[in-house]
Chain A
Amino acid sequence: SQQGEEDPQALSIQEGENATMNCSYKTSINNLQWYRQNSGRGLVHLILIRSNEREKHSGRLRVTLDTSKKSSSLLITASRAADTASYFCAYQAGTALIFGKGTTLSVSS
C-alpha cells in the first residue's frame, strides 16, 4: 500500500501542552502536506513543505521533513481545545493525494 502512516493514532493532552504527530511515507515526494479534519467536516489544509525544505512554520504549527528517512512531523505548540481534530499527512502520487490514516488529537481544558 502507498498509504502513509501516522503515529500516534490517538493523542490526549491538556490545553497549553505541545502535541507532536509523526508521519512516514514510502516513496519519493515533491512535497508533503498536513490537513486537519474536525468531526463531521471536510479537510482543511494546514501547511505544505517542499522536498528541499527541512522545516517550516505557520503560527503555532511547525513541520519538519526528513526525506532520507521518509518522515515528517507536525508540532502544535500551546494547544487549545479548538485544536481537537484529526490530523492527516498527505503526499502526491500522480494526480491523487495519498493520505495517512491520521492522528486523532484531543485537547482538554
Chain B
Amino acid sequence: GAGVSQSPSNKVTEKGKDVELRCDPISGHTALYWYRQSLGQGLEFLIYFQGNSAPDKSGLPSDRFSAERTGGSVSTLTIQRTQQEDSAVYLCASSLAGRQPQHFGDGTRLSIL
C-alpha cells in the first residue's frame, strides 16, 4: 500500500497479558518511529529505527516494552505483562533517512481491562 499500515487497529486484552503491535512502513523508508498517544500524556516518542543502526530506545517507558525491526522493514512493538496505564493509541511513522516529515499510520488502539 501507499501508506503506513498498522495492525491490529484495535486490541483489547486483560491485564498481565503480552501484546504485539505491527507496523508496515512506506516502501523505501528506512526510518521508523513508534509513538504513544494517551489522554494524560499527549504524544510521546518511544523508539526509532534507522536502517541497520542500533535503535534509539530512549523513549521506552519500562523494560516491559521492546521493539524489533526485521529486514529493515516491518516492525513489531511488544508490551509484556500489560498494565492498565498501557492503554493508549500506539502510532507508527516512517520517513526517508534523516528527513522530515514523518508519515503516520492510523494507530493501534490498545485497551487493557
**Chain A residues within 8 Å of B, Cβ to Cβ:** 3, 31, 33, 35, 40-45, 48, 88, 90, 92, 94-102
Say whether chain B's binding surface is mostly helix, strand, loop, or mixed. Answer: strand
Known: A42-B104, A45-B103. A96 touches B48 (CB 8 A): yes
- Return B98 CB to nearest CB of chain A, in Å: 9
Residue positions of B touching A, CB distance < 8 A:
4, 33, 35, 42-43, 45, 48, 50, 56, 58-59, 91, 93, 100-107
Q: List 19 A-B contacts (CB under 8 A).
A: A3-B42, A31-B100, A33-B100, A35-B104, A41-B106, A41-B107, A42-B105, A42-B107, A43-B102, A43-B104, A45-B102, A88-B43, A90-B43, A94-B56, A95-B33, A96-B33, A96-B48, A96-B59, A97-B35
- Point out the residues of chain B lying under 8 angstroms from A96, CB to CB: 33, 45, 48, 56, 58-59
Q: Which residue on A lies nearest to B103, using beta carbons?
A: A45
Q: Interface on chain A toward B: helix, strand, loop, or mixed SS?
A: strand
